[in-house]
Amino acid sequence: MDAGQGPREIRTVVSTALFQPDEIEQLRRAFEPAEFLQVRWDDNEGISRALETADVAVHWTDLDDRHLQAPHLRWVHCDHAGLTRSARPEVFEKGLLVTGSAGRSAPALAQHAFYFALALTYDVQGLLEMQAAHQWRAPAGYENRLALWGKTLGIVGFGKTGEEMARLGKAFGMRVIAYRRRAGEDAPAVDRMLAADAGDSIDPLIEESDVIMLAAHLSDETYHLFSTDQFARMKSSAYIVNLARGGLIDTDALVEALASGAIAGAGLDVADPEPLPPDSPLWDQPNVLITPHMTPRIPERTQRSIDVIVENIRRYRSGEPLLNAITPRDIYTPR
C-alpha cells in the first residue's frame, strides 16, 4: 500500500507514548486542532475506548488486534525501530499506515556494533583473563592478530544504522561493502554498494568481509539470511555481528560454524529465540560476546522520535509518503 494517498484530516489521536509531560505537550501541539487523548500504556479499557473514535494512534509498542478492529483508525505510529510484530498481512488488508522510529538510536547502535568488532578483534576476553590472573602477558597467538585498519567491513541493511556503521568503518580505516534491498544513490562512506532489487548477490560481501554487521529488517525475505551456506562462504577469520533481529541468523547453523571454526566469532545483541535460553550453547562459546538486546541511549533519543512523528504529521496531512512506513515486503510470518 502506498503511504501517500492524498491529504487527510486528523480528528482524534490516542497516545500511549512513554514521554515526559513537556514531550507529550510537543505532540499535542503538533496534532492541533485534533483532539488528543493521552492514555497510560497499561490502561487497556481506556485504550479500547479511545480507539473507538481515533483515526491516529501513537504507541510505545507494537499494534495489536484492537487496532485492527478500530473503526476509524488510519495511521499507527509505533515508537521503536523494528516493526516485525506489526508487519502482519491483516494490517495491509485493513489498509492501515504503520510507521516507526527507526534511526532514533542509530549512532548508539553503530557504536555497539563496533564494541563487538573491537572486543573480538582485540580478544578482550583473553586479555581480561590475563588481568584477572595478574599476568603481564598477552593470550597465546596474540602477536598474529590484525587490527581493523585495512580490513573489509560488510554491512547488511543500509538504513540509518547501516549508514552510521559505514561512517565508523571508514573512520577505522576499513573498506566498506554494503548490501541493501532497494537500489538507490551511492553513499560516500561505502566503497561498493550492492542492492537486491538491482539483481546483485550478497555473496561478494559474505566472501570478502572480515567483519559482517547485520542491520536489516526481519521479514519473510530475510529470515535465516545467514545459515550454513553463508557461514561456509565467510572467511574463517571473520566475525559476524547482529544488532538487528535474531531471526536473521539460523542459530543452529551459527553454533556449528563457531564450534567448527568456520568463522572466528560472533557479537550478538539479539538472539533467536529471545531471550536466549540459559541452556543455549552460545553462552559458553569462547568466541561469542552477548548483550541482552539493550544498548546505551543517546541523550536526544526521545526528541529524535518526536521529530519523526511531527514530520509524519505534516506528511500525512499533505498526502506525502510517510517516513519509516512498513510495506507488504516487510511482512514477517513467525516460525
**Range in 1-5, 20-24, 260-264 with the lowest mean pLDDT:** 1-5
Gap between the Cα atoms of 182 and 199, Å rounded: 10
Look at residue 291 in the predicted model and tell me its pLDDT.
Answer: 98
Which residue is catalytic, options 49, 175, 233, 293? 293
Look at residue 292 in the predicted model and tell me its pLDDT.
Answer: 97
Cis-peptide, bond into residue 273, ω within 30° of zero: yes
Cell numbers describing residue 270: 539479539
In the block, cell 602477558 appears at 137
Gap between the Cα atoms of 136 and 146, Å rounded: 20
Which residue is catalytic, options 104, 180, 181, 245? 245
Q: pLDDT digit string (tens) for 104-136?
A: 999 999 999 999 999 999 999 999 999 999 999
Look at residue 1 in the predicted model and tell me its pLDDT.
Answer: 40
Consecutive H or E run containing 250: none
Average pLDDT over residues 3-26: 88
Look at residue 34 in the predicted model and tell me its pLDDT.
Answer: 97
Look at residue 196 in the predicted model and tell me its pLDDT.
Answer: 96
Q: pLDDT digit string (tens) for 165-223?
A: 999 999 999 999 999 999 888 899 999 999 999 999 999 999 999 999 999 999 999 99
Q: Which long-range contacts (CB under 8 A, 24 or more apart) does 302-307 make?
A: 302/19, 302/20, 302/23, 302/104, 303/23, 304/101, 304/103, 304/104, 305/79, 305/101, 305/104, 306/19, 306/23, 306/26, 306/27
Look at residue 2 in the predicted model and tell me its pLDDT.
Answer: 45
- Domains (ranges, CATH) in the chain? 12-104+299-330 (3.40.50.720), 106-290 (3.40.50.720)
Gap between the Cα atoms of 40 and 187, Å rounded: 41
274 noted as active-site residue: yes
Q: pLDDT digit string (tens) for 51-85?
A: 999 999 999 889 999 999 999 999 999 998 889 99
Read off the pTM.
0.93
User: Between β-strands 239-242 and 175-180, what pairing exists: parallel, antiparallel or unpaired?
Assistant: unpaired
Gap between the Cα atoms of 169 and 317, Å rounded: 39
Which residue is catalytic, options 274, 297, 314, 329? 274
Gap between the Cα atoms of 37 and 17, Å rounded: 11
State the average pLDDT for the chain: 95
pLDDT at residue 284 greater than cutoff 90: yes
Look at residue 5 in the predicted model and tell me its pLDDT.
Answer: 60
